[in-house]
Amino acid sequence: MITAQNGVIFFFAEKRFLTADVTLQDLGRVASRVATCSDDICTSGQTDGKTAILVFVMEETSNADAEKNGGYGSTAVVTPQHVYNEDVRIVDEHERKDLVRGLKQRHIQMIAIAGAIGTGLFLGLGSSIATAGPLGSLLGYLFVGAIVCAVQFALGEVTALFPVTGSFVRHSEILIDPSLAFAIGWNVVYGAFMSVPSEISAAVVLIQYWNDSVNPAVWVTILIVLSVLVAVIFVGVYGEVEFFFALLKILLVVGVIILGLVIDLGGVPGKPRLGFHFWKNPTGPFVEYIADGAWGRFLGFWAVMSNAVYSFSGVESLAMAAAETQNPRQNIPKACKRVFARLTIFYLLAILIVGMLVSSKDDRLNDESGTAAQSPFVIAASDAGIKAIPSIVNAVVLTSAWSASNQSILAGTRTLYGLALKGHAPKFFIWTTPYGIPYMCVALQVAFSFLSYMCVSSNALTVFFWFVDLTAAGVLISWIAIALNHIRLMQALKKQGISPEELPWHNSLTPYGSWFAFVSCVILLLTGGFTVFTKGNWDPSSFVSSYLDIPLVLVVYVGYKLIRRTKFIPLQDVPIRQAIEEAQNDPENVPIKARGWERLNILWG
C-alpha cells in the first residue's frame, strides 16, 4: 500500500478482486472495502502475466453514508482513479530467462576500471600538463572527479532500484520518456561500436612501436578475432579477462606512482631531488592558454576538462550488464562507490606526480606518435636513465587499448539488447546463446570492427583520432542522462509520498550531487570546443567532433517522438512501489558481508 497525495495505491496480480483494509490514521479506524475488476478495467486475458495496478482516492463520507458502510462514525470510500498494466517484474522476462548472472562484484568493478584506465592516464596526462600546468591540471581533474562522484552515486541509486540491462538507457524509459531512451540508447550503441575500431587502431600504433615492418592488417585481424572470442564466451569468462587486465593496469599505476616519487625525491643515483621545482619554473603552477594573464590561466584550466572527461569515460559502463550481475542491488551501488574512489585517487596522484617530474614546457609532451614515447612517466624515467620503462609502459597501454575495446563491446551490445527488449531495435537482437550472450548484437559489433582496416591504407594514429573525435561528446551526454534519471526519481518519490530511505540503496547527498553533475555536464558539453571560436583557432574537424553529437541526439529524439507520439512518464506513474517490493522480495537482495581474506580485498573487492 502506498500513501500518496491523492489517496492510496493498491497492487494486485491476476485476481478478480482485492480486499483493501484502509487505515484512517487521522481517525484511528479501519474501513474495509472490496474493489472488483470490471471487464473494461482488467480481464483474465489482460492479467495473464501482468500486474494490474489500481490507483484509488479516498473521500470522507457523511455520517449518514457511513452508517450504510458498516456503521463507522466517519469512514472512507475507496474509488478507482485510473488503471494501467505493467510487466510483473521490473526486469524483463527475457532478461530473467535468457541471460546468465555470471558477473561478480569484483568483475563489474574491474570492467569499469579497465575502461577508465587507459591511454587517457598513461599517455594523455602529459598534454594536460602542457595545456594547464601542474596545478591547473590537478584542479581540472579534481573538478571532473567530483562530477564522476555525483554520476556514480546517482547511477548506483537508480540501478539498485531498477537493475535492468542497458542501465541508464532503460532507466530513461521508466522515469522520463521512451523517446529519450531511444535517442540516448542509440547514441550509446553508436559511440561504443565506433570506439572498438578506434581502440584497435590505437593498439596497432602501440604494436608498431616495436615493429612497423608487419602489415597492420595482420594485427587488426588478430585483435578482432580475440575481441570476438571474448565477446561470445560465457560472460563470467569475460569478467575474468577484464579482471586480469584491470589488475595489470592498477599494478602499473601504483608502480609508476612509486617510481615517480623515487625519482622526484632524488632516489636515483646521480640525479638531484626535484621536489616541486616544476611548480615554480618555468611557468609556475598554471600555464596561460590562448590568452594572457588570469583569463589565459583559466582557459588553460578549462581546456583540460575535455581530457579529464575522456580519461574518466567508461566508469558508467559497470551497470550496463546489471541483469547479468549477481545480486545487482547490492553489488552495483557498492561498485559505483569503490570505482569512483579508486579512479579518483589514481588519477589525482598520477597527475600530481607527473606535474612534479616533467616541465610543462617539455616538447616531448606534445609527441604525436601515440606510443609510450609521449608518456610523461616514460619521459621522466628516460631522464633518470631507466631504460626498461618505455617498453613496459607500451606493453601495458597495449593491453589497455584492447581491454577498452572489450569494455565498449559489453556496453554497446548490452545497450542494444536492452533497446530490442522494449521495441527500440529489431527483435532479433534479443536472441541469445545457451550461455546468455546476445550474439546478434555481437555480430553487429563485429561489422563495425572491420572499420579498423582503414588504418591499412592510412596512418593508424590518424584513424584513431578520427574515431575518438566522433565519440568524445557522447560521454557527457551519457552522464547528463544518468543525472537526469536520478533527478526524476527523486521528484517521483516526492510526488508519490515515498521516503528515499525505502530505496534499496540511498545516500543523502545524491539529490544535490545529481543537480551539480547535470548542470556541470551541460556546461562542459556546450563549451567543449570553445577553442575553435577564439581568434585564429577555427578548425572545422574540431568543431564537428565537439558538437556533432548534440544535434544528432536532438534530431533522433524529436523524430522518434513525432513518429511514435510518446509522452513524458507522469511522476505518479513511475513504478517505484512495485520496484521496491520486488527488491524486498528478491532472494538475492541480501547484504554482503566480507569473510576471511575478503576483508583485505581493498583493490578489487
CATH number of the domain that residue 225 is part of = 1.20.1740.10
Q: What are phi and psi of 18, to 5 degrees?
A: -140, 125
User: Does 41 score more than 50 pLDDT?
Assistant: no
DSSP per residue over 422-471, as a string?
TTSS-GGGG---TTS--HHHHHHHHHHHGGGGHHHHS-HHHHHHHHHHHH
For residue 53, the model assigns a pLDDT of 40
Alpha carbon 127 to chain centroid distance? Answer: 25
* 287 strand-pairing partners: none
In a domain, 175, yes or no: yes
- 3-state class (DSSP) for residue 10: strand
Final residue of a structural domain among 65, 87, 109: 87
Indicate the pLDDT class of residue 71, thresholds 50, 70 and 90: very low
User: Does 34 score more than 60 pLDDT?
Assistant: no
Indicate the pLDDT class of residue 591, thresholds 50, 70 and 90: low
In a domain, 286, yes or no: yes
Give 511-556 pLDDT, tens digit per residue: 999 999 999 999 999 998 898 898 888 888 778 878 888 999 999 9
403 plus 474 within the same structural domain:
yes
* pLDDT above 70 as % of the chain: 74
Please give the helix or strand (H or E) that residue 193 lies within, else none. helix 178-207
The tally of CA atoms less than 13 A away on the side-chain side of residue 211 is 6
User: Does 37 score more than 70 pLDDT?
Assistant: no
In a domain, 223, yes or no: yes
Cβ-contact 253, 344 below 8 angstroms:
no
In a domain, 595, yes or no: no
For residue 135, the model assigns a pLDDT of 94
Place of cell 611557468: 283
What cell numbers appear for 387 in the block? 631504460
Most confident of 3-12, 84-93, 202-211: 202-211
For residue 520, the model assigns a pLDDT of 96
- 3-state class (DSSP) for residue 579: helix
Task: List CB contacts of 391: < 8 A, sequence separation 6 or more.
Answer: 210, 372
For residue 42, the model assigns a pLDDT of 36
In a domain, 594, yes or no: no
In a domain, 46, yes or no: yes
59 plus 115 within the same structural domain:
no
60 plus 155 within the same structural domain:
no
Place of cell 556546450: 526
In a domain, 591, yes or no: no
User: Does 80 score more than 70 pLDDT?
Assistant: no
7 plus 101 within the same structural domain:
no
What cell numbers appear for 382 in the block? 628516460
User: Does 72 score more than 60 pLDDT?
Assistant: no
Tell me which residue range forms the domain holding 80: 2-87
75 plus 151 within the same structural domain:
no
For residue 132, the model assigns a pLDDT of 92
CA quadruple 288, 290, 294, 298: dihedral sign: negative
DSSP per residue over 509-568, as a string?
THHHHHHHHHHHHHHHHHHTTGGGGSTT---HHHHHHHHTHHHHHHHHHHHHHHHH---P
CA distance 345 to 334: 17
For residue 471, the model assigns a pLDDT of 62
User: Does 458 score more than 70 pLDDT?
Assistant: no
In a domain, 181, yes or no: yes
DSSP per residue over 246-297, as a string?
HHHHHHHHHHHHHHHHHHHTT-STT----TTGGGTSSS-S----SS-HHHHH
Place of cell 558508467: 316
For helices 328-357 and 125-161, what crossing angle results, to 10°? 170
User: Residue type for 221, please?
Assistant: T
204 plus 318 within the same structural domain:
yes
- The two beta strands, 29-36 and 2-4, are unpaired
502 plus 523 within the same structural domain:
yes
32 plus 179 within the same structural domain:
no
Final residue of a structural domain among 46, 62, 87: 87
Indicate the pLDDT class of residue 82, thresholds 50, 70 and 90: very low
Per DSSP, the chain holds a count of helices (H) and strands (E) of 21, 6
User: Residue type for 184, please?
Assistant: I
Give 402-447 pLDDT, tens digit per residue: 887 888 888 888 889 889 988 889 999 999 888 788 899 999 988 8
For residue 346, the model assigns a pLDDT of 85
146 plus 163 within the same structural domain:
yes
6 plus 124 within the same structural domain:
no
* 325 strand-pairing partners: 103
For residue 473, the model assigns a pLDDT of 80
Indicate the pLDDT class of residue 86, thresholds 50, 70 and 90: very low
Give 121-160 pLDDT, tens digit per residue: 777 788 889 999 999 999 999 999 999 999 999 999 999 8
341 plus 408 within the same structural domain:
yes
CA distances (Å), 288 to each of 136, 140, 237, in order?
10, 14, 48
Instruction: Give the count of domains, the chain.
Output: 2
Cβ-contact 438, 474 below 8 angstroms:
no
Task: List CB contacts of 186: < 8 A, sequence separation 6 or more.
Answer: 419, 424, 556
258 plus 294 within the same structural domain:
yes
Final residue of a structural domain among 39, 59, 87: 87
